Amino acid sequence: MKKYILSLVVALGVVTGCKDDVEFLNVKSTNILLVDEVYGDPRLVLSAATELYNRIPELVEPANFGIYASFDEAFASGDYGRHQNREYSYDDWSLWDYGYIREINLFIERVEAAKALTPADKVRFVAEGRFLRANAYFEMVKRMGGVPLITESLTYDYSGDAAYLRKTRAKESEVYDYVIAEFEAIKSLLPKAPNEKSRATYGLALASKARAALYAGSIAKYGVNTPSVLLPNGEVGIPATKATAYFQTALAAAQELINANQYSLYQKAPDLSTNFANIFLDKANNSEVIFVEDYKLQSGKIHSFALDNQPRALTEEGERGGRLNPSLNLVQSFEKLDNTFAPLAINKGATTDYIYYDKPEDLFAGRDARLQGTVLVPGAIFKNRAIDIFAGIIQSNGTILTGDQLGQLKTVNGASVQVVGLSGPIEGYDGSAQGGFYMRKYNDPVTGSGQIGTQSEVWNVRYRYAEVLLNAAEAAFELGQNAVAAGYINQVRNRAGLTVPLTTGEITFDRIVHERKVELSFENHLLWDMKRWRIAHIVWDGSNSDLTTQPGKATEPSTRVYSLWPYKVYNPGGASHNKWVFRKVLSGRVTQSHIFRLGNYYSRISDGIINSNPLITRNPNQ
Partner 1 sequence: MRYTFIVALLLTLGLTGCAFDNFEPPQSTFEGRLVYKGEPLLMQSANATGGNNSDFPVFLELWQKAYNNRSSIRIPIKQDGTFSSLLFDGDYKLIVPNGQGPFLWKRTATNTPDSLAVTVQGSQKLDIEVTPYYMVRSPQFSVSGRKVVGSVKLEKIITDAVNGKTVERVSLYVNKTQFVDAGNSLNKADLAGSAITNLDNVSLTTADIPALVPSQSYVFVRIGLKITGVEDMIYTPVQKVNL
Cβ pair 593, 579 in contact under 8 A: no
Residue 531 interacting with partner 1 (CB under 8 A) = no
Residue 352 interacting with partner 1 (CB under 8 A) = no
User: Which range, of 114-122, 393-401, 507-515, 592-600, touches partner 1 by CB under 8 A?
Assistant: 592-600
Cβ pair 96, 147 in contact under 8 A: yes
* Least CB distance to partner 1 at residue 242 (A): 24
* Least CB distance to partner 1 at residue 143 (A): 15
Residue 549 interacting with partner 1 (CB under 8 A) = no
- How many helices (H) and strands (E) in the chain? 19, 14
Site for partner 1 in 81-100 (CB under 8 A): 81, 84-87, 89-91
Residue 479 or 598: the one with the smaller Cβ distance to partner 1 is 598
* Least CB distance to partner 1 at residue 595 (A): 7
**Residue of 266, 255, 278, 137 whose CA lies nearest to 207:** 255
Out of 544, 549, 550, 578, point to the residue binding partner 1 (CB under 8 A).
Answer: 544
Residue 59 or 586: the one with the smaller Cβ distance to partner 1 is 586
**Residue of 361, 322, 323 whose CA lies nearest to 344:** 361
Distance (Å, rounded) from C-alpha 207 to C-alpha 468? 6
Residues 6+ apart with CB under 8 A from 318: none
Out of 94, 494, 576, 622, point to the residue binding partner 1 (CB under 8 A).
Answer: 622
Distance (Å, rounded) from C-alpha 399 to C-alpha 566? 14
Residue 81 or 234: the one with the smaller Cβ distance to partner 1 is 81
String marking each residue 213-242 x if it binds partner 1 according to CB under 8 A: --------------xx---x----------
Residue 506 interacting with partner 1 (CB under 8 A) = no
Residue 543 interacting with partner 1 (CB under 8 A) = yes
Distance (Å, rounded) from C-alpha 429 to C-alpha 432? 6
Out of 153, 451, 598, 613, point to the residue binding partner 1 (CB under 8 A).
Answer: 598
Residue 542 interacting with partner 1 (CB under 8 A) = yes
Q: Is the dihedral of CA 247, 250, 256, 257 positive or negative?
A: negative
Query: CA separation (Å) from 232 to 90, 145, 488?
Result: 20, 13, 38
Residue 119 or 608: the one with the smaller Cβ distance to partner 1 is 608
Residue 592 interacting with partner 1 (CB under 8 A) = yes
What does residue 410 show for φ and ψ, rounded to 5 degrees? -135, 160
String marking each residue 33-72 x if it binds partner 1 according to CB under 8 A: ----------------------------------------
* Least CB distance to partner 1 at residue 58 (A): 21
Distance (Å, rounded) from C-alpha 253 to C-alpha 213? 9
Determine how β-strand 580-585 pairs with β-strand 563-570.
antiparallel
DSSP string covering 403-440: -SSTT-EEEETTEEEE-SBTTB--TT-TTS-TTS-EE-
Residue 613 interacting with partner 1 (CB under 8 A) = no
**What separation, in Å, do the N-terminal and C-terminal C-alpha atoms of the chain show?**
87
Residue 82 or 124: the one with the smaller Cβ distance to partner 1 is 82
Residue 349 interacting with partner 1 (CB under 8 A) = no
Count of residues binding partner 1 (CB under 8 A)? 29
User: Which range, of 22-30, 78-86, 451-459, 466-474, touches partner 1 by CB under 8 A?
Assistant: 78-86
Cβ pair 559, 540 in contact under 8 A: yes
* Least CB distance to partner 1 at residue 89 (A): 4
Q: Note the residue count of the chain.
A: 622
Per the DSSP assignment, residues forming a β-bridge with 570 are 395
Residue 412 interacting with partner 1 (CB under 8 A) = no
Residues that bind partner 1 (CB under 8 A): 81, 84-87, 89-91, 227-228, 232, 542-544, 592-593, 595, 597-599, 604, 606-608, 611, 618, 620-622
